[in-house]
């Protein structure tokens, strides 16, 4: 460690143009690390700044294994293998840009990466590379490694790291854990599930450059529905009742999705094991607090009260290129454009256990307002304000109990439902109150 400190001290001294002695810096660095216990990276940057230097002049990053990576590292070195690599074009301000993305692996794990500068970069699957000055960010709860301007990559010999074995460490061990659909959470592995197939389709997909066949569709049990992907042909057909052992759960925008492959066992069960397809196709009613714990779900019903109508509701104009909602008649990406009108609602629905943003599209919004998009445009023109439609929606919906149905996703801003069906809720308050009171009094009598 002390040897490593010395080389970092040398790096700091170099970044400062040699105006402070290595010995002095080494003492200072030890002080930061052992007395103040800040991270090596922070310590180095702080020392350079303290002496009036520029921390980007630092060259020697902190070497870490993939397991040790945390989000927000500004300069990290790693020795890793390219598990997969692929290129694509992205739209950025000022036109298209090529990037590379893929997965890095070492003996401790794997991590996704993105290379933002591809000129002179020649990466191939299986290469072992020494990465210097990469940085990390968090994306949907996962660490991501980024290669930027300052990052350098050097190829090492293939035996500098033990060869990567796909799936190593994730092979099902011991008996699988039986779960219901409602219990599936991102990261669950070696799961056993009893479900009915609602629909299934065969698709060809590209996985890291290789063509693969996947069978995907929807499963359901009495607790809910889940999307699945089978990476092997288990000859699944609609309405089959199946027991799947050794599956695992990944998440897409927070929604748990069930996957299984050649390491899983699939067996057909008696149809009577689960309710009928019609029964299972109904959308279960859920509490928002449970959705928050699950991360999301497909096709669920939520009952709650609209407690706010968010900005950007009502009459909006969208970019004809990318469909983004325009702000001040300009698109974030395409600048000033002739927008296409649309209607939508972004409502905060709260059921007392949690809150979500419910997004309603044009048809549902027209239905709630009882008038068409064209009528709204005319009204907005008459009133010289787009906001008039939002105000009407607020009058109509705020403090109103509603029932909404759809898929619920989540991100850093919380839960969002893309609403497929919405209705104003009418509840027989008297009947429910009587049932609750009878239950309470029943308890008292027996007590």
Partner 1 sequence: MNRETAWRVFAGEYNDSTLDMSDGGERSPTYVVTPLGAKVNRLFVVGVLTDMENVGTEQGPMWRGRITDPTGTFHIYAGQFQPAAAAAMSKLKPPVFAAVSGKSRVYKPDSGATYVSIRPEIVKVVDANLRDYWVLESCQSLKKRLEAAREAYQMNPPTVGELLKLGCSSSLSAGLVAAVAHYGNVDLSRYSSMLAESLRYLLPEFQESRPPETEEVIKVEEKVAEKAPEKGADDQLEADILALIEQLDKDGKGASWDAILEGAKKHKVDRDKLEELVNVLLDKGLVYEPVLGRMKKI
Nearest approach in angstroms of CB 291 to partner 1 is 10
User: Of 263-271, 285-293, 322-330, 379-387, which segment contacts partner 1 by CB under 8 A?
Assistant: 285-293
Q: Is 134 in the site for partner 1 (CB under 8 A)?
A: no
The one segment of 82-90, 108-116, 252-260, 392-400 that binds partner 1 by CB under 8 A: 392-400
- Report the residue number, 3 or 428, with the smaller CB distance to partner 1: 428
Helix or strand (DSSP H, E) at 298: strand 297-309
Least distance in Å: CB of 295 to partner 1? 11
447 binds partner 1 (CB under 8 A): no
432 near partner 1 (CB under 8 A): yes
Q: Which CB, 210 or 430, lies closer to partner 1?
A: 430
C-alpha dihedral (298, 304, 310, 312), degrees to nearest 10: 50
Does 424 participate in binding partner 1 (rule CB under 8 A)? Answer: no
Strand 255-260 to strand 224-230: parallel, antiparallel, or no bridges (unpaired)? parallel
Total residues contacting partner 1 (rule CB under 8 A)?
Answer: 33
User: Residue 132 belongs to what H/E stretch?
Assistant: strand 128-139
Q: What is the dihedral of CA 43, 49, 51, 56, to 10 degrees?
A: 90
Q: How far apart are CA 28 and CA 26, in angstroms?
A: 5
In the list 70, 330, 333, 427, the residue contacting partner 1 (rule: CB under 8 A) is 427
- As a whole number of angstroms, the distance between CA 85 and CA 115 comes to 10
98 sits near partner 1 (criterion: CB under 8 A): no
DSSP 150-190: T-EEEEE-GGGSPPP-TTTT-S--SSPEEE-GGG--TT--S
Residue 441 engages partner 1 in binding (rule: CB under 8 A): yes
Strands, E assignment, 9-65: 62-63
The number of beta carbons lying within 10 Å of the beta carbon of residue 436 is 10
Residue matched to tokens 């299972």 = 280
CB of 188 to partner 1, least distance (A): 17
Tell me the pairing of strands 414-424 and 355-360.
parallel
Which residue do the tokens 């019903």 mark? 301
Task: Kindly identify the residues of this chain, within the stretch 262-281, that bind partner 1 according to CB under 8 A.
Answer: none
- Among 292, 298, 345, 359, which residue interacts with partner 1 (rule: CB under 8 A)? 292
* Identified binder of partner 1 from the candidate list 99, 117, 301, 307, rule CB under 8 A: 307
Task: Look up residue 377 and give its two tokens.
Answer: 């445009």
To partner 1, the closest distance from the beta carbon of 292 in angstroms equals 6
Q: How far is CA 195 from the centre of its chain?
A: 25
Distances (CA, A) of 387 to 309, 320, 347, 359, 395: 12, 21, 15, 17, 12
Please choose, out of 37-45, 62-70, 230-238, 303-311, the segment that lies near partner 1 by the rule CB under 8 A.
303-311
Is there binding between residue 293 and partner 1 (CB under 8 A)?
A: yes
Cβ of residue 425: shortest distance to partner 1, in angstroms?
8
Question: Mask: binding to partner 1, 337-376, rule CB under 8 A, as x and -?
Answer: -----------x-x-xxxxxx-------------------
Q: How far is the CB of 439 from partner 1 (least distance, A)?
A: 9
Runs of H (alpha helix) within 154-312: 277-281, 288-294
Q: What is the distance between the alpha carbons of residues 319 and 381, in angstroms, rounded to a whole number?
A: 20
Q: How near is the Cβ of 446 to partner 1 at its closest, in Å?
A: 15
Residue 279 vs 289, nearer CB to partner 1? 289
Query: Which of 44, 57, 53 is closest to 9 using CA atoms?
Result: 44
Q: Which of 289, 311, 336, 374 binds partner 1 (CB under 8 A)?
A: 289
Query: Taking the mean position of all CA atoms in its chain, how far away is CA 408?
Result: 12
Confirm or reject binding of residue 437 to partner 1 (CB under 8 A): yes
**415 lies in the site for partner 1, by CB under 8 A:** yes
Q: Which residues bind to partner 1, rule: CB under 8 A?
A: 288-289, 292-293, 305, 307-308, 348, 350, 352-357, 398-401, 412-415, 427, 429-430, 432-434, 436-437, 440-441
């Amino acid at each position: 460690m002390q040897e490593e400190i010395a080389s970092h001290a040398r790096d700091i001294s170099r970044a400062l143009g040699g105006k402070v002695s290595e010995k002095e810096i080494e003492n200072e660095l030890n002080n930061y690390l052992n007395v103040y216990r800040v991270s090596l990276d922070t310590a180095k940057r702080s020392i350079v700044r303290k002496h009036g230097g520029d921390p980007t002049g630092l060259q020697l990053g902190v070497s870490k294994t993939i397991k040790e990576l945390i989000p927000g590292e500004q300069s990290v070195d790693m020795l890793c293998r390219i598990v997969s690599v692929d290129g694509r074009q992205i739209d950025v301000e000022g036109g298209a840009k090529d990037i590379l993305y893929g997965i890095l692996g070492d003996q401790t794990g794997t991590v996704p990466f993105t290379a933002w500068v591809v000129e002179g970069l020649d990466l191939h699957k299986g290469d072992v590379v020494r990465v210097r000055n990469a940085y990390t960010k968090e994306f949907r709860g996962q660490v991501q490694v980024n290669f930027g301007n300052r990052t350098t990559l050097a190829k090492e010999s293939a035996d500098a790291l033990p060869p990567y074995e796909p799936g190593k460490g994730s092979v099902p061990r011991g008996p699988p854990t039986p779960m219901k659909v409602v219990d599936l959470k991102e990261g669950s592995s070696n799961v056993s599930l009893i479900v009915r197939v609602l629909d299934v389709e065969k698709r060809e997909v590209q996985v890291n450059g290789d063509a693969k066949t996947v069978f995907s569709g929807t499963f359901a049990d009495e607790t809910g529905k889940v999307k699945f992907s089978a990476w092997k042909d288990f000859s699944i057909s609609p309405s089959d009742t199946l027991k799947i052992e050794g599956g695992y759960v990944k998440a897409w925008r927070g929604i748990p999705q069930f996957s299984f492959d050649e390491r899983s066992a699939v067996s057909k069960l008696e149809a009577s094991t689960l309710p009928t397809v019609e029964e299972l196709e109904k959308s279960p009613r859920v509490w928002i607090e449970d959705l928050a714990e699950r991360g999301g779900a497909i096709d669920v019903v939520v009952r709650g009260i609209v407690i706010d109508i968010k900005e950007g509701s009502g009459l909006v104009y969208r970019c004809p290129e990318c469909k983004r909602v325009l702000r001040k008649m300009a698109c974030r990406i395409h600048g000033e454009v002739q927008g296409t009108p649309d209607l939508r609602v972004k409502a905060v629905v709260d059921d007392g256990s949690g809150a979500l943003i419910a997004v309603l599209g044009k048809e549902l919004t027209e239905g709630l307002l009882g008038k068409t998009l064209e009528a709204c445009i005319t009204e907005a023109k008459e009133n010289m304000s787009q906001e008039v439609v939002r105000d009407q929606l607020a009058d109509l919906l705020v403090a109103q109990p509603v029932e909404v149905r759809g898929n619920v996703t989540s991100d850093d801003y919380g839960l969002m439902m893309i609403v497929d069906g919405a209705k104003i809720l009418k509840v027989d308050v008297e009947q429910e109150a009587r049932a609750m009171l009878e239950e309470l009094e029943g308890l008292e009598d027996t007590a």
